[in-house]
Amino acid sequence: MSEEGYDHAAVERRWQEAWDDADAYRTSDDVEDPTYVLGMYPYPSGKLHMGHVRNYTITDAYARFRRMQGDDVLHPMGWDAFGLPAENAAKERDTNPRDWTLDCIDTMKGQMESMGFGYDWDREVTTCEPEYYQWNQWLFRRFHEEGLAERRDADVNWCPSCETVLADEQVEGDAELCWRCDTPVEQRELDQWFLSITDYADELVDYIDELEGWPDSVRQMQRNWIGRQHGTRLTFAVDGHGDVEAFTTRADTVYGATFFALAPDHPISEELIQSDEAVHEFVHEEADPEGDEPNGVRTDLTATNPVTGEELPVFVADFVLSDVGTGALMGVPAHDQRDHDFASKMGLPIEPVVAPEPEADDADASDAEPEPPDVSDAAWPEDGVLVNSGEYSGLDSETARERITADVDGAEEATQYRLRDWGISRQRYWGTPIPIIHCDDCGPVLVPEEDLPVELPEFINTTGNPLDAAEEWKQTTCPECGADATRETDTMDTFVDSSWYFLRYVSPGRDDVPFDLDRANDWMPVDQYVGGIEHAVMHLLYSRFVTKTLADFEGLAEREPFTNLLAQGMVQLEGQKMSKSKGNVVSPQRIVEEYGADTARLFMMQAAQPERDFDWSEEGVRSTYHFLTRLKNLVEEFDADADTDASSGASGDDAVAGYVADEIDATVAIAREEYDDLTFNVALREAQDLVGTLRQYREFTDGEPDPDTFQRGLEAAVRLLAPVTPHLAEELHGELGNEGLVVDADWPSVDVDRETAEKRRQLVENTREDVRQIIDVAGIEEPERIDVVVTPEWKYDALELAIESEADNLISELMQESHIREQGDAAAAYGQDLQAEREALSHTLEPDAEYDALQSAAWLIEREFDAPVRVVRADEVEESVANKAEPGRPAIEIEE
Ligand code: ANZ
Ligand code: ZN
The kind and range of the H/E element at 85 are: helix 84-93
Question: Over 90: is that where the pLDDT of 218 sits?
Answer: yes
Question: pLDDT value at position 642?
Answer: 73
Question: pLDDT value at position 463?
Answer: 66
Question: pLDDT value at position 579?
Answer: 82
CA 332, 336, 337: angle at the middle one, nearest 5? 125
Residue 43 — very low, low, confident or very high, per pLDDT cuts 50/70/90? very high
Question: Over 80: is that where the pLDDT of 651 sits?
Answer: no
Distance CA 534, CA 308 (A): 48
CA-based nearest residue to 424, from 171, 151, 84, 199 = 151
Residues 518-547, buried b or exposed e (16+ Cβ, 10 A)?
ebbeebbbbbbbbbbeebbbbbbbbbbbbb
Question: pLDDT value at position 289?
Answer: 82
What is the amino acid identity at position 689? D
CA of 319, closest atom in ligand 1: 19
pLDDT digits (tens, 9 = 90+) for 503-533: 999 999 999 999 999 999 999 999 999 999 9
Q: Starting from the CA of residue 438, give the closest ligand.
A: 2
What would the DSSP string read from start to end of 576-620?
A: EE--TTTT-PPPHHHHHHHH-HHHHHHHHHHHS-TTS-EE--HHH
Three-state SS at 67: helix
Q: What is the mean pLDDT of residues 855-875?
A: 92
Q: Which sequence spans correspond to the domains of the chain?
A: 142-196+421-492, 229-359+368-416, 592-755, 757-895
The number of residues in the chain equals 896
Distance CA 280, CA 694 (A): 84
Query: How far, CA to CA in Å, does 304 sit from each of 201, 403, 811?
Result: 33, 19, 75
Residue 2 — very low, low, confident or very high, per pLDDT cuts 50/70/90? very low
Q: Is 645:706 a contact under the CB 8 Å cutoff?
A: no
pLDDT digits (tens, 9 = 90+) for 430-442: 999 999 999 999 9
pLDDT digits (tens, 9 = 90+) for 123-134: 999 999 999 999
Residue 643 — very low, low, confident or very high, per pLDDT cuts 50/70/90? low
Is 401 close to ligand 1, i.e. is its CB under 6 Å away?
no
Mean pLDDT of the chain: 93
pLDDT digits (tens, 9 = 90+) for 357-398: 987 665 555 567 899 999 999 999 999 999 999 999 999 999
Distance CA 88, CA 356 (A): 58
Ligand 1, pocket-test mutation among 249, 258, 324, most atoms within 8 A of CB = 249
Question: pLDDT value at position 157?
Answer: 85
Is 249 close to ligand 1, i.e. is its CB under 6 Å away?
yes
Is 330 close to ligand 1, i.e. is its CB under 6 Å away?
yes
Question: pLDDT value at position 180?
Answer: 75
Main-chain phi, psi angles of 94, to 5 degrees: 55, 40
pLDDT digits (tens, 9 = 90+) for 158-168: 888 877 777 66
- The top-level CATH class assigned to 229-359+368-416 is alpha beta
CA-based nearest residue to 39, from 61, 66, 17, 12 = 61
* 166 Cα to the center of ligand 2, angstroms: 30
Task: Tell me the whole-structure pTM to 2 decimals.
Answer: 0.89
Q: What is the mean pLDDT of residues 630-647?
A: 80
Distance CA 102, CA 98 (A): 6
What would the DSSP string read from start to end of 428-492?
A: -SSSPBP-EEEETTTEEEEPPGGG-----------SS-HHHH-HHHHEEE-TTT--EEEE---EE
Question: pLDDT value at position 291?
Answer: 82
Give the list of residues 6+ apart from residue 264 with CB closer than 8 angstroms, or none: 282, 283, 287, 289, 316, 317, 318, 320, 322
Q: In which region does residue 649 sit, left (phi positive, over 0), alpha (psi from -120 to 50) or beta (all else)?
A: left
* 247 Cα to the center of ligand 1, angstroms: 7
What is the amino acid identity at position 768? R
Question: Over 70: is that where the pLDDT of 645 sits?
Answer: no
CA 149, 190, 133: angle at the middle one, nearest 5? 45
Intra-chain end-to-end CA distance of the chain, in Å: 46
- The top-level CATH class assigned to 142-196+421-492 is mainly beta
pLDDT digits (tens, 9 = 90+) for 411-428: 999 999 999 999 999 888
- Which residue has a Cα nearest atom 26 of ligand 1? 248
Q: Starting from the CA of residue 483, give the closest ligand.
A: 2
* 443 Cα to the center of ligand 2, angstroms: 7
Ligand 1, pocket-test mutation among 229, 247, 305, 387, most atoms within 8 A of CB = 247
CA of 327, closest atom in ligand 1: 17
* 320 Cα to the center of ligand 1, angstroms: 9
The dihedral formed by the CA atoms of 314, 317, 319 and 324, expressed in degrees to the nearest 10:
60
Question: Over 80: is that where the pLDDT of 52 sits?
Answer: yes
Is 321 close to ligand 1, i.e. is its CB under 6 Å away?
yes
Question: pLDDT value at position 650?
Answer: 45
- Residue 95 bridge partners (DSSP): none
pLDDT digits (tens, 9 = 90+) for 885-896: 999 999 999 998
Main-chain phi, psi angles of 74, to 5 degrees: -110, 120
Is 253 close to ligand 1, i.e. is its CB under 6 Å away?
yes
Give me Rg for the CA atoms of the chain.
36
Question: pLDDT value at position 808?
Answer: 87
Ion ligand 2: residues, Cβ under 5 Å: 439, 441-442, 478, 480-481
Question: pLDDT value at position 648?
Answer: 46
Q: Starting from the CA of residue 443, give the closest ligand.
A: 2
Three-state SS at 566: strand
Q: Starting from the CA of residue 445, give the closest ligand.
A: 2
Q: What is the mean pLDDT of residues 547-563?
A: 98
Question: Over 70: is that where the pLDDT of 103 sits?
Answer: yes
Q: In which region does residue 458 sit, left (phi positive, over 0), alpha (psi from -120 to 50) or beta (all else)?
A: beta
Please state which CATH number belongs to domain 592-755. 1.10.730.10
- Which residue has a Cα nearest atom 7 of ligand 1? 336
Q: pLDDT exceeding 70 applies to what percent of the chain?
A: 97
Main-chain phi, psi angles of 722, to 5 degrees: -55, -40
Query: How far, CA to CA in Å, does 81 sit from each of 43, 102, 259, 542?
Result: 6, 8, 52, 18
CA of 354, closest atom in ligand 1: 31
Distance CA 874, CA 85 (A): 75
Q: What is the mean pLDDT of residues 744-766?
A: 93
Is 278 close to ligand 1, i.e. is its CB under 6 Å away?
no
CA 499, 502, 506: angle at the middle one, nearest 5? 140
Give the number of C-alpha atoms closer than 13 A to the C-alpha of residue 831, restricted to the C-beta side.
21
Question: pLDDT value at position 167?
Answer: 66
Count other Cβ atoms within 10 Å, centred on residue 391: 10
Query: How far, CA to CA in Å, does 319 sit from each of 155, 234, 597, 754?
Result: 17, 19, 54, 59
Question: pLDDT value at position 360?
Answer: 66
Strands (E), 12-135: 35-39, 73-74, 78-79, 125-126
Give the number of C-alpha atoms closer than 13 A to the C-alpha of residue 200, restricted to the C-beta side.
23
CA-based nearest residue to 490, from 170, 88, 140 = 140
Is 324 close to ligand 1, i.e. is its CB under 6 Å away?
yes
Name the DSSP class of 163: T
Question: pLDDT value at position 647?
Answer: 44
Three-state SS at 563: strand
Residue 18 — very low, low, confident or very high, per pLDDT cuts 50/70/90? very high
Distance CA 545, CA 204 (A): 7
Is 531 close to ligand 1, i.e. is its CB under 6 Å away?
no
What would the DSSP string read from start to end of 20-51?
A: HHHTTT---TT-SS-EEEEEPPPP--SS--HH
CA 524, 528, 529: angle at the middle one, nearest 5? 95
Spell out the alpha helix ranges (H) of 703-792: 707-721, 726-735, 754-777
Q: Starting from the CA of residue 305, give the closest ligand.
A: 1
